């Protein structure tokens, strides 16, 4: 049953990747929340070469938010592990070896339910039309369906090992390695759940991409690696309609009700819950402004998929690799960064990211709508304002701080989303829990896995 509540409020930013916080996932490498993990701190854990504190905060303890898969589309067995395209094209589907993409199943064919569950372009106001229909959340759980190689605990960096995506700081598995190969945390850090009881799980956002999430259970067998198929056999039900917004900065918790569904999900009947944090009301989900002067139908959010334009090529510094040099005239000194330009070609726009810059060489189109053009619907209630999303939100907010751009000053979410889960009546023993987040803004699936003990 779909329910939600609204609270009139003034919004400040919460911007976020994402990961399970508790039960403590293997991918967090035994790190817990303390001052050293706060963004902007002298963070001894974040040593990826992406500048101090780039991956930090509750949503990325131990770089846990870097276990995911990119190039995933609803109804497709394979994730291509390449391309973070905002507007997918046929070539992106071909890389993922997709057949004909089925119609979205979100809401089970009920248009009202589908609208309540959508997190992006809810009213169909984008100039690009229904451009999220290929994204994982539009058919929850179906990306990777039937594929034994789909990784239920994510992939280190989310991409092919040959792609310049940042890997985690820990080297328990290589860049492009599977999260299922991570070593177990010390037994003292495992959660203990009682069969037939209600247990708690929490997750947090580092970079928001809309969509929704589910929790799944798999029995641990000595010498065997957990598979997506194993987790799909035991999806967990939510025990209550409420999600607790638990603050870690001294503020009181807030309880909200975000739409939850079994309709149109995979496995059939599995429960999925909508990500309750809306982004700003434009295709990009951030910096929505009618004054934006450029766009592209195949723009990479991270700038790693270059968009070429006639007459805008130039010779890059020889220290640049081919993947880093498109549109880049001179490379930055730190070439470990995926974005490593210090000077762009003429006609290319300098796009700043924390710790560096990349060059966008898409064609200017100042006369038409862009990825940053705000939708006509604001979802702002009377008297509600937001300094970070002044043009409005993708859908109405549910609590104070309950909105923010998808890309901003990263890692500023001071809260987690805490859910109550029904522990099934399974035999006592060792299990693992997989948290899966299917995105709607991007073709990405995030995963975290945690070891637990279930008692009789």
CA atoms lying within 13 Å on the CB side of residue 316? 22
Q: Span 351-360, mean pLDDT?
A: 62
Q: Identify the three-state secondary structure at position 315.
A: coil
Contact (CB, 8 A) for 117 and 274: yes
Weakest-pLDDT range from 148-157, 161-170, 330-339, 425-434: 330-339
Asked whether the predicted pLDDT for residue 438 surpasses 50, the reply is yes
**β-pairing, 341-344 with 328-331?**
antiparallel
List the helix and strand counts (H, then E) for the chain.
Answer: 4, 17
Nearest to 120 by CA among 320, 393, 311: 393
Tokens 């726009």 sit on residue: 349
| Predicted structure pTM score | 0.81
- The residue with greater pLDDT, 149 or 217, is 217
SS3 163: coil
Question: Cβ contacts of residue 220 below 8 Å, gap of 6+?
Answer: 226, 429, 430, 431, 432, 451
- Among 37-41, 197-201, 428-432, name the one with the lowest average pLDDT: 37-41
pLDDT reported for residue 340: 66
pLDDT (tens digit, 9 = 90+) per residue, 42-61?
554 444 433 344 677 889 89
Helix (H, G, I), strand (E, B) or coil at 356: strand
End-to-end CA distance of the chain: 31
Taking the domains of the chain in order of start, what are their residue ranges? Answer: 18-283+375-455, 322-360
């Amino acid at each position: 049953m779909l329910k939600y509540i609204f609270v009139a409020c003034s919004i400040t930013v919460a911007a976020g990747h994402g990961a399970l916080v508790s039960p403590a996932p293997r991918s967090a490498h035994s790190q817990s929340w303390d001052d050293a993990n706060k963004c902007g701190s002298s963070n001894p854990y974040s040593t990826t070469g992406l500048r101090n504190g780039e991956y930090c905060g509750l949503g990325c303890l131990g770089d846990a938010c870097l276990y995911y898969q990119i190039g995933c589309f609803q109804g497709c067995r394979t994730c291509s592990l390449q391309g973070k395209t905002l507007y997918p094209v046929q070539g992106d589907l071909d890389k993922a070896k997709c057949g004909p993409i089925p119609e979205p199943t979100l809401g089970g064919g009920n248009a009202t339910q589908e609208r309540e569950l959508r997190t992006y372009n809810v009213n169909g106001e984008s100039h690009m039309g229904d451009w999220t229909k290929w994204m994982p959340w539009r058919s929850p759980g179906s990306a990777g369906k039937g594929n034994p190689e789909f990784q239920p605990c994510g992939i280190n960096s989310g991409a092919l090992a040959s792609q310049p995506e940042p890997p985690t700081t820990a080297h328990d598995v290589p860049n492009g390695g599977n999260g299922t190969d991570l070593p177990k945390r010390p037994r003292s850090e495992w959660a203990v759940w009682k069969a037939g009881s209600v247990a708690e799980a929490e997750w947090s956002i580092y970079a928001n991409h809309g969509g929704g999430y589910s929790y799944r259970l798999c029995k641990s067998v000595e010498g065997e690696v957990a598979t997506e198929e194993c987790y799909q056999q035991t999806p967990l039900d939510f025990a209550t309609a409420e999600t607790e917004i638990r603050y870690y900065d001294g503020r009181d918790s807030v309880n909200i009700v975000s739409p939850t569904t079994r309709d149109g999900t995979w496995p059939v009947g599995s429960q999925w819950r909508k990500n309750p944090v809306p982004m700003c009301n434009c295709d990009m989900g951030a910096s929505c402004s009618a004054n934006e002067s450029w766009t592209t139908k195949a723009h990479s959010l991270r700038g790693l998929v270059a968009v070429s334009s006639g007459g805008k090529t130039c010779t890059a510094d020889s220290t640049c690799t081919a993947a880093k040099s498109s549109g880049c005239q001179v490379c930055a000194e730190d070439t470990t960064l995926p974005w490593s330009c210090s000077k762009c070609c003429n006609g290319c726009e300098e796009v700043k990211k924390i710790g560096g810059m990349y060059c966008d060489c898409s064609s200017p189109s100042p006369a038409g709508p862009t990825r940053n053009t705000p939708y006509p619907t604001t979802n702002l209630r009377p008297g509600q304002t937001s300094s970070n999303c002044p043009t409005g939100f993708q859908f109405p907010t549910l609590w104070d701080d309950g909105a923010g751009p998808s890309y901003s000053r990263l890692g500023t979410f001071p809260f987690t989303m805490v859910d109550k889960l029904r522990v099934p009546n399974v035999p006592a023993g060792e299990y693992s829990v997989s948290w899966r987040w299917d995105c709607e803004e991007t073709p990405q699936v995030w995963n975290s896995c945690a070891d637990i003990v279930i008692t009789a």
